[in-house]
Amino acid sequence: MGTSNEIVRYRKEINGRIIEVVIWLLSEPVSGSTHHFKYRLFYGTSEGVCFVRYDNERGKGDHRHFGNHEEAYSFISLKKLLYDFEADTERI
């Protein structure tokens, strides 16, 4: 994987619930993805319980987690990624 620069990091905690967004711009795509971003978007508790998580692990590509359920995610743009993540956090 090429060098990376963190371009966005946001963390908010309210009443033990955490929203954290971290996005890096890479010189080349992560294995399994076709875009130049590496990301981790998390909504859960400070005790580590995950309600929703979007990420693109090397080799797995773009996907999201709802609790223990994992499914593929079709990455279109950063704007759409953030919109989808926010919509999922509001549903919970």
The pLDDT tens digits of the residues spanning 9-36 come to 888 888 889 999 999 999 899 999 999 9
Reported as a single tens digit per residue, the pLDDT across 35-82 is 999 999 999 998 889 999 999 988 899 999 999 999 999 999 999 999
pTM over 0.85: yes
List CB contacts of 89: < 8 A, sequence separation 6 or more: 19, 43, 51, 52
Structure tokens at 83: 């919109």
User: Quick count: other Cβ atoms within 10 Å of Cβ 51?
Assistant: 18
**Pairwise CA distance, residues 81 & 84, whole Å:** 5
Domain ranges for the chain, please list them: 4-91
Q: What is the pLDDT of residue 1?
A: 47
Scanning 1-92, the segments in alpha helix (DSSP H) are 78-91
CA distance 64 to 39: 11
